[in-house]
Structure 1
Amino acid sequence: MDISRLPGFYAIAATDPDRLAVIDTDGTETTYGELLAEVNRVSHGLRARGLGTGDVVAGVLPNGIAPVVMLMATGHIGLYYVPINWHLTEPEIDYILADCDAKVVVRSAEDVAALGEGRPDTLPGERTSGAVMWYTSGTTGFPKGVQRPLPGAEPEQIVPLYQWFLGEVCDLRAGDGVHLVTSPMYHSSPCAHTQFALHLGHTLVVSAKFEPEPILALIDRHRVTNAMMVPTMFHRMLQLPAETRERYDLSSLGQVVHTGAACPVAVKQGILDWWGPVLYEYYGSTESTIAFAVGPHDWLARPGTVGRPAPTFEVKILDEADQEVPQGEPGMIYVKSGMGTFEYRKDPAKTAASMRGEWYAPGDIGYLDKDGYLFLCDRRTDLIISGGVNIYPAEIEAAILEHPAVADVAVIGVPDEEWGHKVVALVQPVEEGALTAGELLGHLEPRIARFKHPRVVEFRAELPRTPTGKLSRSKVKADYLAGRAG
């Protein structure tokens, strides 16, 4: 098949091989032609390992060109790619690897290069679209793979759908754009936007991590046109001194997409005042993808909204009796998409529990205004979102309860100006003075990733439970916040 007349990364690389594709964390530049050659070599290497359509490859990789190669290599030979957070502990990583049945695991740029060593740089035969399978935790604290059916088509055939959808929700277009990767590519949105950018023909500027001033410097230096961020980043950049902020020319920015957590109105307004009308927000989840979206002008007319249903999506708001609520009345949000379905890998019961027929519940409470714009009231009861990252109390509680001096524990998220929420652990020891906060954090070190560690540990003589013995986390949180207010 002659792909030169078709859209997307693989065709762009064939027709415009000298176009700049990636500026890596160390400044190394790679063209589209060079990137496709390495992608093809790795694709042949995966095939040589015996992998076929529907098999799984996992990457435990920091930001850089290596995860980009894996994303695009698996993407045109029908494989599922599972990006894994490299901050996780080995037991946490091992759990995901076992659950996803990964046949190949890469943990470094050297591993990726070794896959392609000595392989041809030509397009592999029988190309078919792969998919990314992100792992997301549930109320049990154990992550599950969000698996979608493979498209069953060559990648060039589905690229026009990506391009149309992105144009509709955030005005992103094919051309000579420059996309800044600000977040770890093991998260769903940064990973997806990396792939989108290449299919649009944009240049990727990859940052190793987010730091406010260096990010501004990258935007200025590379004339970045679009990026994906989370509200915590906005908060931190707004805290920079005025003279620092004024040092950088950000006029190249056209679209900065944000998601991952509710953005305080004052923070978003502050960025709009600084950068101009370039903020595009969407709301959804790993399961639902982009369900709602709003551009800068519509948001300014309705501050606080997360937008209207994205193309192909429908929404309904239900009460506790599964009845639709009137306009303006809060209820549980349900969405339905024409873009395809998902299932939790190896967990049909969990898949069924998350659905009402064709309708999926992200688990959040919200209401629709008279024009169909969604406003969120609260996140799901137990989920903590800190810096745009989902943190699940049940997982942390389970790890804390492994300590012999702990009798009971409740983990909650409390509002935090910078991070959105912070993790607080309220611990009931077996006896007074049996444990210190430092000892508890040391106990957690080998068990759960550091970003899940409580920022506050307080000890309690007793924690409230319902008559059935279930921890009343809502009462714990209400009592904690009331105590802070007092």
Structure 2
Amino acid sequence: MNISKKLHENALQFGDKPAYYFLNTQSSYRELDAAVSKFADALTKMGVHKGDHVGLLLGNSPHFVIALYGALRAGATVIPINPIYTPEEIGYILNNGDVKVVVGLDLLIPLFEKMSAALPKVEQVIYCETPKQDDQEPLDITKLSVYPKLKSFTSFVGSGSHLFEAPELQEEDVAIILYTSGTTGKPKGAMLTHKNVFSNAKDTADYLKINETDRVIATLPMFHVFCLTVALNAPLLNGSSVIIVPRFSPGDIFTITKEFQATVFAGVPTMYNFLVQFPDANVEDLKSLRLCISGGASMPVALLKSFEQKFEVAVSEGYGLSEASPVTCFNPLDRPRKPGSIGQSIVNVENKVVNELGEEVPVGEVGELVVRGPNVMKGYYKLPEDSAHAIRDGWLFTGDLARMDEEGYFYIVDRKKDMIIVGGYNVYPREVEEVLYSHPSVVEVAVIGIPDENFGEAVKSFVVTKKEDNVTTEMLVEFCKEHLAKYKVPSSIEFLEELPKNTTGKILRRSLKDKVLNA
């Protein structure tokens, strides 16, 4: 079974039930399935064969859903790419990923024109029309050198047949290649098989009890694995309706939740922070939600409690990574949830904590989190040595430091590479961040290690506070001294208007480190 085949089965079962809502439009399962088949047929006629690579440079839209499921139905491997990456970043992934066909926004056509010579492997570009501003100069694509490679999405889908017969796919065939963020070098392509993608979407949907009565908000970027699995594939596999939101805005989320009576919202901690801080928001704004899901980064306990108290809706925090399709843990819905924990292993997935030798450590001790299950990637694209290092004896080494309690709940302590060593003592940034988040004037915080002549490293905090509060460095340092050992207390605190974030809203510690080192 694969997700595109399952969509076809759901079209037969659910027929006219809405598969997605987008702005002022909607599409039934039957209509979506027909569009997917047309796209797959048109791709095949274009010369895309089983195993060829199709890149998606798209935001949240029906185009993304149709292209994703259509390419998979044709037997192609899909490579989702953030459309706001720099030309250099986009070019690297397209070339390294051996992309044959690109489906992208029409806004990117000038980029393809400029980079045409640098992208010899890209044979065709299917562009998706976007609304034009009144003062925007129209682009005459017929005058471009890449014009012979260009096809509009609408006409392309229209050229295909809904009677397309999909090729036979094996569960170990590569379905999606997700390029990791590359914080320690060039991004690596995690190869996810059809088995990886389908099993994790199904297990996640079942674990969170997502079913045909749910309406799930998809505002996280679809090119990111969190949204891809939790807010798109999982709902469509179990007959839910997906509410596609082009970009996150707290005001829009409140409006959309009420208008569509949404039942599930998935977001990163930063989004929850924006929702809590939104003026005049109250419990009525999210009343229809039965569940909120948090992932992508550790959620500060103080933020989780504030959100739940204000809106009276439970937040289930989970954990995942691209290499695991991504979900490995979630806080259960039918057993006690533990704030600060990423929960327990989901069905069919094993998690454990090991030492440097790969041996499981006693309950409560900190070590590296490793994962095993049908969701673990096949390996990194064209990187056999990195693959062998990441997957050992069937276990995926995550690079995250964690501990497990007596009841099998896991707690992320920090990223292994983010740990700060002060005079030989380990300091986990998250522990310091949790304390600062509990200060009533603090809105956002990020902690990093900086070079120190005496102790090797020192703790530095970047803080965003409420504008109306006159908070000083001395006040926050004294607050930390009340809750932290002396070596964990920040040696310096820098106040910022906002913290740097990626497109999913995850705070970028790497940018802050670069800021310090380049100062």
Normalised to the residue count of structure 2, the TM-score between the two structures is 0.68
AA paired with 2:400? D
Q: 1:282 to 1:451 in 2, by over 3 A?
A: closer
CA offsets, 1:46-78, max 9 Å, x none?
111222222110010121110011111123222
CA contact (8 A) 2:295 2:318 kept: yes
Match of residue 281 from structure 2: 244
CA contact (8 A) 1:292 1:310 kept: yes
Q: 1:112 to 1:414 in 2, by over 3 A?
A: farther
Q: 1:123 to 1:271 in 2, by over 3 A?
A: farther
Q: 1:298 to 1:276 in 2, by over 3 A?
A: farther
Once residues 261 and 223 of structure 2 are traced to their aligned partners in structure 1, the CA distance between those partners, rounded to angstroms, is 25
Q: 1:307 to 1:215 in 2, by over 3 A?
A: same
Q: 1:133 aligns with which of 174, 177, 192?
A: 177
Match of residue 314 from structure 1: 350
Q: 1:11 to 1:48 in 2, by over 3 A?
A: same
CA contact (8 A) 1:8 1:201 kept: no
CA RMSD of superposed structures (Å):
3.4
Once residues 268 and 90 of structure 1 are traced to their aligned partners in structure 2, the CA distance between those partners, rounded to angstroms, is 37
CA contact (8 A) 1:368 1:374 kept: yes
Q: 2:247 aligns with which of 204, 209, 212?
A: 209
CA contact (8 A) 1:313 1:336 kept: yes
Q: 1:172 to 1:359 in 2, by over 3 A?
A: same
Shift of 1:36: 1.8
CA offsets, 1:330-369, max 9 Å, x none?
1111121144542000101111121332111110111111
Compare 108-117 and 33-42 and name the one that shifted more: 108-117
AA paired with 2:84? H
Once residues 184 and 324 of structure 1 are traced to their aligned partners in structure 2, the CA distance between those partners, rounded to angstroms, is 35
Q: 1:247 to 1:256 in 2, by over 3 A?
A: closer
CA contact (8 A) 1:59 1:82 kept: yes
CA contact (8 A) 2:192 2:377 kept: yes
Q: 1:142 aligns with which of 186, 205, 210?
A: 186
Q: Which secondary structure state, in structure 1, belongs to the residue aligned with residue 399 of structure 2?
A: coil
The correspondence of residues 319-330 of structure 1 with structure 2, limited to 5 A, is: 319-330=355-366
Match of residue 15 from structure 2: 17
Structure 2 gap segments, 5+ residues each: 106-127, 130-151, 420-428, 434-445, 449-456, 466-506
Shift of 1:169: 2.5
Q: 2:290 aligns with which of 215, 240, 254?
A: 254
Shift of 1:319: 2.2
Match of residue 118 from structure 2: none
1:119 aligns with 2:156: no
AA paired with 2:381? R
CA contact (8 A) 2:208 2:333 kept: no
Q: 1:337 to 1:274 in 2, by over 3 A?
A: same
Q: 1:178 aligns with which of 186, 190, 215?
A: 215
1:100 aligns with 2:97: yes
Q: 1:164 to 1:37 in 2, by over 3 A?
A: closer
Structure 1 gap segments, 5+ residues each: 153-157, 394-409, 419-449, 463-486
AA paired with 1:112? F
Once residues 452 and 97 of structure 1 are traced to their aligned partners in structure 2, the CA distance between those partners, rounded to angstroms, is 27
The correspondence of residues 45-84 of structure 1 with structure 2, limited to 5 A, is: 45-84=42-81
Match of residue 367 from structure 2: 331
Aligned structure 1 segments of 4 or more residues deviating by more than 6 angstroms: 383-386, 450-453, 459-462
Shift of 1:89: 0.7
Q: 1:348 to 1:215 in 2, by over 3 A?
A: same
CA offsets, 1:83-107, max 9 Å, x none?
1001101111010001111111011
The correspondence of residues 79-478 of structure 1 with structure 2, limited to 5 A, is: 79-108=76-105, 109-110=128-129, 111-126=152-167, 128=169, 131-138=175-182, 140-151=184-195, 161=199, 165-173=203-211, 175-192=212-229, 193-241=231-279, 243-246=280-283, 248=285, 250-288=286-324, 289-295=326-332, 298=335, 300=337, 302-382=338-418, 416=463, 454=511
Shift of 1:269: 1.5
Shift of 1:166: 2.6
AA paired with 2:232? T
Once residues 459 and 140 of structure 1 are traced to their aligned partners in structure 2, the CA distance between those partners, rounded to angstroms, is 17
CA contact (8 A) 1:299 1:305 kept: no
Shift of 1:296: 5.3
CA contact (8 A) 1:181 1:227 kept: yes
Match of residue 27 from structure 2: 30
Q: 1:41 aligns with which of 19, 33, 38?
A: 38
Once residues 194 and 415 of structure 1 are traced to their aligned partners in structure 2, the CA distance between those partners, rounded to angstroms, is 34
CA contact (8 A) 1:70 1:112 kept: no
Shift of 1:227: 2.4
Q: Which secondary structure state, in structure 2, belongs to the residue aligned with residue 133 of structure 1?
A: strand
CA offsets, 1:33-54, max 9 Å, x none?
2222221111001111222222
Q: 1:94 to 1:415 in 2, by over 3 A?
A: same
Shift of 1:127: 5.0
CA contact (8 A) 2:283 2:310 kept: no
Q: 1:460 to 1:79 in 2, by over 3 A?
A: closer
Q: 1:346 to 1:299 in 2, by over 3 A?
A: farther
CA offsets, 1:253-285, max 9 Å, x none?
122221100001111122222343532222121
AA paired with 1:194? L
Shift of 1:150: 4.2
Shift of 1:194: 0.9
Q: 1:312 to 1:98 in 2, by over 3 A?
A: same
AA paired with 1:352? A
Once residues 144 and 459 of structure 1 are traced to their aligned partners in structure 2, the CA distance between those partners, rounded to angstroms, is 26
Shift of 1:456: 8.7
Compare 371-380 and 452-461 and name the one that shifted more: 452-461
Shift of 1:17: 3.2
Match of residue 445 from structure 1: none
Q: Which secondary structure state, in structure 1, belongs to the residue aligned with residue 247 of structure 2?
A: coil
AA paired with 2:180? T
